[in-house]
Amino acid sequence: MHQTVLLLALILTYSVPVISQNVTITAPSGVFYSPNYPSDYDNNIKMTYNITVPEDHYIYLTLMDFVTEAYFDVLTIYDGGNSTPTYILSGDCTGQNYALSSNTAIFEFTTDLTGTAKGFAIQFDAIEMNASYIISDTCPPPLYNSDKGFVTRLSGDPSNLTPIVTTGSVMYINFVTDLVNTASGFSAFYQSIQ
Ligand SMILES: *[C@@H]1O[C@H](CO)[C@@H](O)[C@H](O)[C@H]1NC(C)=O
Ligand SMILES: *[C@@H]1O[C@H](CO)[C@@H](O)[C@H](O)[C@H]1NC(C)=O
Ligand SMILES: *[C@@H]1O[C@H](CO)[C@@H](O)[C@H](O)[C@H]1NC(C)=O
């Protein structure tokens, strides 16, 4: 009898997710992450992300990083308040893109009792209805003034790069990267001019 009660208690304890959280995001674009990212997510969690972009837009998803325990740790996407899943994602889905049909979606991330992985970093963008997604130009215009003098910012693949000429004998190079995705980076040649 005692054993039965104990067993029941154990089952009840384990069936309730240890972490259950609702996250609401209202923005035209952004990135949302699994808990602890880029460290592994926890077992036995249920996260709900409610994402809303401006009206007359739809949500476009880029899975910048997505690794979960295949079949057991699952991200379910409900497009536009539907009660049936639009996409069910699990395993390695890094790099995939999904165009939803409406400006709001619910993302439910549930994990089982064992096995974890890095989880996900998902970029969402608001795209005008009937328009298609175009990758934004990440190379900003050259030269603006900062507290260190004139600065140029480079990102993406600046293939038509003209030489950068400084006004003094010192040049600072500041290289900043975000939490996800890497690339081969850069090599640069410098010389002094009298
Ligand atoms: C999250 O939202 C669902 C549905 O609205 C609700 O049932 C649940 O209690 C909420 N969980 C938390 C932790 O607020
Ligand atoms: C999601 O968030 C939006 C905006 O805050 C809200 O109108 C909507 O009711 C939420 N949906 C759910 C299922 O909680
Ligand atoms: C998108 O296209 C459909 C069919 O051509 C049209 O009925 C609808 O009004 C358009 N929506 C917007 C926001 O332009």
What is the set of domains in the chain, with CATH numbers? 16-128 (2.60.120.290)
Q: How far is the CA of 130 from the centre of ligand 3 (A)?
A: 6
Q: Please write the tens of the pLDDT for every residue from 134-187.
A: 766 555 555 566 666 666 777 777 666 777 777 778 877 878 787 777 888 888
Distances (CA, A) of 8 to 2, 15, 30, 92, 114: 10, 11, 43, 35, 20
Q: How far apart are CA 68 and CA 170, in angstroms?
A: 47
Q: Please write the tens of the pLDDT for every residue from 110-130.
A: 999 999 999 999 999 999 998
CB 78 within 8 A of CB 86: yes
Any idea which ligand is nearest the CA of 57?
A: 3
Q: Is 130 in the pocket of ligand 3 (CB under 6 A)?
A: yes
Q: How far is the CA of 69 from the centre of ligand 3 (A)?
A: 39
**The overall pTM is greater than 0.75:** no
